[in-house]
Amino acid sequence: MEKIRVVVSGAYGRMGREVMKAVTAQEDLSLVGAVDKAGVGTDVSALTGVGGTEVVISSNLTETLQKTKPDVVVDFTTPLVVKENIKAILEAGVNGVIGTTGLTEENLAEMAALTDQAGKGLLIAPNFAIGAVLMMRFAKEAAKYLPEAEIIELHHDRKIDAPSGTAMKTAEMIKNGRAQALTPKPAPLEKVKGARGGDYSSVHIHSVRLPGLVAHQEVIFGGIGQTLTIKHDSLDRTSFMPGVLLAIRKIIKMKGLIYGLENLMD
């Protein structure tokens, strides 16, 4: 059996380490490269506690792609570098699985054009936890009947972007699930600026950043005499790995930009 060759970008970070562990444990996948600006020269086996990889972290993504010739790059870096990483991945003729959030709608349109030009598959997913994808699906369904909703998303204090990509994707799905658009309401008197959160697709989003958290989200719907809350908690980063592995295996058979893991689950 020919294994799927994988490079991990953002390898020294917490998500990168989990991805490398997960990839190494699969019989049909092979970790052939690791890239990060931190931890350059670090042996991946020593870093992850998984032996036999013979991979060390390098600093240059383009050079690593040229040397290792992977089938897929998995990117968990930062919003500050992800655009350039995607361009490097596509220019090298490699498929991509992107878990880095912070891309705007304009960025996605640009990446879609580059992906079509490259003739490869590129998945950009705000969240790889299967439960989080189901939460978003359920929220879209609930919005048909309870169109007024707010989102509270909670993440660790080192997360750069706010709101999270998951919250923004959820808001979009709520908007698309509504039977009709909401009538705008007069802005309330905010005694503290930002107390009502940010308004995205007519959904208020509240972002919490605290140490001790991983990734959590509540979607609260309100109706006459009732509320409905849909909640998902990722208590450990291993919760994202089944989705990442699913994406790696499927993206090599696809072309074009795919936004959201749910599109690979149907």
| pLDDT tens column, 134-164 | 999 999 999 999 999 999 999 999 999 999 9
At residue 111, the pLDDT reads: 93
The predicted pLDDT at position 148 comes to 96
Q: Among the listed ranges 52-56, 77-81, 207-211, 242-246, which one has the minimum average pLDDT value?
A: 52-56
For residue 192, the model assigns a pLDDT of 93
Per the structure block, which two tokens stand in for 25? 């444990």
Question: Which residues is 257 bridged to in the sheet?
Answer: 122
Confidence check: pLDDT of 1 > 90:
no
Domain segments of the chain as ranges? 4-124+237-265, 130-234
| Local confidence band at 234 (pLDDT 50, 70, 90 cut-offs) | very high
**How does strand 57-58 pair with strand 72-75?**
unpaired
Tell me whether the CATH fold assigned to 4-124+237-265 matches the one assigned to 130-234.
no
pLDDT band at 104 (very low <50, low <70, confident <90, very high): confident
Using the predicted structure, report yes or no on whether residue 266 has a pLDDT greater than 80: no
The CATH class given to the 4-124+237-265 domain equals: alpha beta
For the segment 249-266, the average pLDDT, to the nearest whole number, is 93
Burial (CB count within 10 angstroms: exposed 0-12, middle 13-18, buried 19+), residue 240 = buried
Cα separation values, 206 from 62, 143, 167, Å: 38, 18, 9
Q: How many other C-beta atoms can be found within 10 angstroms of the C-beta atom of residue 225? A: 5
Tens of pLDDT, residues 164-210: 999 999 999 999 999 998 887 777 788 999 999 999 989 999 999 99
- Which positions are annotated as active-site residues? 155, 159
Going by pLDDT thresholds of 50, 70 and 90, the confidence category of residue 121 is very high
Is residue 85 classed as helix, strand or coil in its secondary structure?
helix
Q: At the top level of CATH, which class does the domain 130-234 belong to?
A: alpha beta
How crowded is residue 258: how many other Cβ atoms within 10 Å of its Cβ? 21
Looking at residue 261, what is its pLDDT? 95
Confidence label for 105 from pLDDT (cuts 50, 70 and 90): confident
Share of the chain above pLDDT 70, in %: 100
User: Phi and psi of 230, rounded to 5°?
Assistant: -115, 125
Mean pLDDT for the chain? Answer: 94
pLDDT value of residue 52? 77
Provide the pLDDT confidence category of residue 50 given band limits of 50, 70 and 90: confident
Q: Which two tokens stand for residue 261?
A: 């893991």
- Helix, strand or coil, per DSSP, at residue 166: helix
**pLDDT surpasses 90 at 77:** yes
**Model pLDDT, residue 186:** 73
- pLDDT for residue 250 is more than 80: yes
- The answer to whether 64 and 44 are in contact (CB under 8 A) is no
The total number of residues shown for the chain amounts to: 266
Residue 23 has pLDDT above 80, yes or no: yes
Choose among 224, 220, 199: nearest CA to 150: 220
Residue 102: what pLDDT? 82
AA letter at 90: L
Residue 149's pLDDT is 97
- Distance between CA atoms of 23 and 33, rounded to whole angstroms? 11
**DSSP structure class, residue 133:** H
